[in-house]
Amino acid sequence: MSIWNPEYETMPRHRLEEIQLQRLKWTLNWVYERVDWYRKKFDSIGFKPSHLRSLEDVRNLPFTTKHDLREGYPFSLFAVPLEQVVRIHSSSGTTGKPVVVGYTRGDLNTWAELVARIATAAGVQRGDVCQISFGYGLFTGGFGLHYGLERIGATVVPVSAGQSERQIQIMKDFGSTVLVCTPSYALHLAEVAEQMEVSKEDLNLRVGMFGAEPWSEGMRKEIEDRLGLQATDNYGLTEVMGPGVAGECRERNGMHINEDHFLVEVIDPETLEPVEPGEVGELVFTTLTKEAFPVIRFRTRDLTRLIPEPCACGRTFMRMEKVRGRTDDMIIVRGVNIFPSQVEAALVEIEGVEPHFQIIVDRKAHLDELEVMVEMNEKFVTDSMKKLVQFQKEVEAKLAQKLGIRAKVTLVEPRTIERTAGKAKRVIDKRQL
Amino acid sequence: MPVKQISVFLENKSGRLYDLAKVLGDNQINMIALTVAETGDYGVVRIIADKAEKAVQVLKDNGFTVSETDVIGVVVPDRPGGLASVLEVLKGNNLNIEYLYCFAGPTKDTAIDIMRIEDVTKAEDIIRRSGFEVLEKIDTID
């Protein structure tokens, strides 16, 4: 079982912690000197980078939230001038302003290295034909995997997302051995292949690298059965870097976090104190080597646990389990982050609907479907079906514009969506994740 | 004076149409005609009732989403070509029908067409001048 960078990936823990401390010091100095926002924040609690003595001291630092990063839109949290930034990516910006992230040449080099590691851990090697069916664009998925797989020396086929029949054709004709996409899209492709009467024996798939949305063990088995590959999970987020933060090895029991580049903490989202080792909590990341867009104690809102026991694969990096939930009400639909607050923001702009709504997420034929039930305003009820359907289409268009993905709108009678005294139940997730 | 149609927005949920019929029945309101226009998830129930005003009030009081619509009620001969004869008039005057439904008229050889046309007054006028009887209200049919 091969390891991309054995020197680091199998490093003894004590040695790793020395490197982490050294890099953490570098990062704190870097942001203190270069990013006003961090300097002000450190100053406000009387913290100087020189105060850091141990890794545990990181707990004295303030957290950074998605809200903070968004406030910096577009470039004010960059730690280098724009002329040193050679690439920009961005979060989907589904809740308002997106988080814009930059990469120096050095950052891109690191990124490719880390993706090469997780791809190698997943079983990809030189000689593989890697079909990347993640979208290419501001989304980090496509480009992130692209350069990491090139780094390995694999043959990259940058198909990007969509055009499923063409995907199958290429998969068959090019003999793709690795499929990179969201797990739900993998299942959708399996279905399209069946419709095209292309069996898994007609394909040459060997490894799947799936990420960017939650999925279950049941789904893993189904993908494997239908596409005839080994399905692996990986984890990353735009704010921290993109894909390559963590990935599964062939043990497929948790994802190794690239700890020489990211310091991970797990906190209780209520008390903000660290949880006991192995307990479930919210993941918090501090980047250790990023130049253009370092983050200090970034609260991911992702809930999971770390696996403290050593892994049979020989890597010493800590593993994280699959993300099992969120501390906020964000849902991920077809790889896109959706917050109920966005739906609300879209609806208040439309005359004729009440801001009472319910979001229903379901998975049909392996694709996520988003439905928004919207209460009609009494005054806008008409006898004309044409106008109602037109109205429904307007609401759909507005939501698509705000959310970045299509949602089916169902108009419902006024006062029929349940009102609750406390937190409204805005989301019903019927997916079996 | 056009005929008042009651339009009710209903979700496509089992028992919802029953609720509506029950409320009207309990309040001694008789429906002369009822038609449903539907999409998969919701629909509009269009009703011609005796005591239209009372019907609207009762439905609103019971939480239904109601609007009133002016429609044209035309008496047409109940024979082959009866509907076509009135449509010919509309066609000749470039009047477009949004929707239409028919039911048997007060006498054996007549039928009533309910038509929704944007410019109600103009349409009524034209139809009447072409020799058709246009109804003022439809709560007197026995």
Band of the pLDDT at A368, cuts 50, 70, 90?
A: confident
Q: Are both A271 and A307 inside the same structural domain? A: yes
Do residues A154 and A98 both lie within one domain?
yes
State the smallest CA–CA distance between residue B47 and chain A in angstroms: 10
Query: Any chain A CB within 8 A of the CB of B94?
Result: no
Q: Which residues pair with A209 in a beta bridge?
A: A180, A232
Q: Mark A273-290 as b/e (b = at least 16 C-beta within 10 Å).
A: eebeeeeebbbbbbbbbb
Residues A236 and A351 in one domain: no
Of B11, B46, B67, the CB nearest to A416: B11
User: Which 102-131 residues of chain B touch chain A by CB within 8 A?
Assistant: 116
Same domain? A250 vs A371: no
Cβ contacts of B65 on chain A, cutoff 8 Å: 376, 378, 381, 413-414
Interface touch A414/B98, C-beta < 8 Å: no
Of A382, A410, A414, the CB nearest to B67: A382
Q: Which residues contact A120 (CB under 8 A, 6 or more apart)?
A: A2, A3, A4, A152
Reduced to 3 states, what is the DSSP secondary structure of residue A353?
strand
CA distances from residue A210 to A136, A219, A326 in whole angstroms, order as listed: 15, 11, 19
Tally C-beta pairs within 8 A across A and B: 51
pLDDT band of residue A419 (cuts 50, 70, 90) is: low
Confidence of residue A331 (pLDDT cuts 50, 70, 90): confident
Q: Which helix (H) or strand (E) holds A206?
A: none
Position A94 scores a pLDDT of 57
**Rounded distance between C-alpha atoms, residue A318 and residue A258, angstroms:** 8
Which pLDDT does position A339 carry in this prediction?
Answer: 80
The beta-carbon neighbor of A385 closest among B41, B44, B66 is B44
pLDDT at A352: 77
* Mean local confidence (pLDDT), B100-110: 88
A355/A361 Cα distance (integer angstroms): 19
What pLDDT, on a 0 to 100 scale, did the predictor assign at position A433? Answer: 61
Q: Which two tokens stand for residue A407?
A: 């949602």
Residue bearing the bigger pLDDT, B50 or A380:
B50
CATH of the domain at A204: 3.40.50.12780
- Which 8-state DSSP code applies to residue A274? B
Say what angle helices A340-348 and A385-403 make with each other, to 10 degrees: 130
Question: Which domain range does residue A398 map to?
Answer: 333-429
Q: CB contact, 8 Å: B11 with chain A?
A: yes
The dihedral formed by the CA atoms of A103, A109, A110 and A114, expressed in degrees to the nearest 10: 120
* Overall size of chain B counted in residues: 142
The CATH superfamily of B71-135 is: ACT domain (3.30.70.260)
Which tokens sit at A153? 């020396």
Q: Chain B residue closest to A371 (CA)?
A: B41
Of B140 and A255, the structure prediction assigns the larger pLDDT to A255
Closest chain A residue to B11, measured at CA: A412
B window 31-50, beta carbon within 8 A of A: 37, 39, 41-44, 46
How many residues belong to chain A? 433
Percentage of chain A surpassing pLDDT 90? 70
Among A341, A132, A153, A327, which residue's Cα sits nearest to residue A243?
Answer: A132
For B16, which residue in chain A has the nearest alpha carbon? A413
**Is residue A1 very low, low, confident or very high in pLDDT (cuts 50, 70, 90)?**
low
Amino acid at A61: L
pLDDT of residue A413: 87
Contact between A386 and B98 using a beta-carbon 8 Å cutoff = yes
Contacts of A387 in chain B (CB under 8 A): none
Q: What pLDDT is attached to residue A422?
A: 46
Token pair of A172 as six digits: 């068959």
- Clarify whether residues A394 and A268 are in a common domain: no
pLDDT tier for residue B87 given thresholds of 50, 70 and 90: very high
Computed over every residue of chain A, the mean pLDDT equals 91
pLDDT of A386 reads 86
Domain stop point among A293, A309, A328: A328
What is the pLDDT confidence band of residue A424, given thresholds at 50, 70 and 90? low
Whole-number Å distance between alpha carbons of B80 and A143: 69
pLDDT at A29: 97
A411·B67 Cβ contact <8 A: no
pLDDT confidence bin for A95, thresholds 50/70/90: low
**A252 shares a domain with A155:** yes
Average pLDDT over residues A340-369: 82
Write down the domain spans for chain B.
3-69, 71-135
Nearest to B9 among A376, A389, A415 (CB): A376
Same domain flag for A294 and A392: no
Flag whether residue B57 sits within 8 Å of chain A, measured between CB atoms. no
Question: Are B3-69 and B71-135 equal in CATH topology?
Answer: no
Domain stop point among A296, A328, A360: A328
Strands (E), A182-297: 207-210, 230-237, 242-248, 255-257, 262-267, 280-287
Residue A39 dihedral angles phi and psi, to the nearest 5°: -60, -45
Q: Is the CB of A416 inside 8 Å of chain B's CB atoms? A: yes
* Residue A259 near residue A20, CB atoms below 8 Å: yes
Of A247, A294, A220, give the one whose Cα is nearest residue A61.
A294
Please judge whether A384 and B5 are an interchain contact, meaning their C-beta atoms are less than 8 angstroms apart: no
Q: What is the pLDDT of residues B1-43, one digit of tens each?
A: 789 999 999 988 889 999 999 999 999 999 999 999 988 888 9
The domain that holds A351 is classified in CATH as 3.30.300.30
Do A244 and A337 fall within a single domain? no
Rounded CA separation A316/A12 (Å)? 7
A93, pLDDT greater than 70:
no
The number of distinct structural domains making up chain A is 2
Q: Are residues A35 and A172 in the same domain?
A: yes
Q: Residue B99: list chain A partners with CB under 8 A.
A: 384-385
Specify whether A252 is located in the same domain as A388. no
A283 reaches B (C-beta below 8 A): no
- The reported pLDDT for the residue numbered B142 is 42
Q: State the pLDDT confidence band at A187, using cuts at 50, 70 and 90.
A: confident
> Same domain, yes or no, for A341 and A320?
no
> How far, in Å, are A88, A178, A225 from residue A187 at the CA level?
30, 15, 10
Least confident of A21-25, A96-100, A204-208, A251-255: A96-100
What pLDDT was estimated at residue A270?
A: 87
Sign of CA dihedral A165, A169, A171, A172: positive
Please determine, for the modelled complex, whether the ipTM score is greater than 0.90: no
Please state which architecture CATH assigns to domain B3-69: 2-Layer Sandwich (3.30)
Q: How is A72-122 classified by DSSP, letter by letter?
A: TTTTTT-SS-GGGEEEEEE---TTSSPPEEEEEHHHHHHHHHHHHHHHHHH
Asked if A322 and A415 sit in the same domain, the reply is no
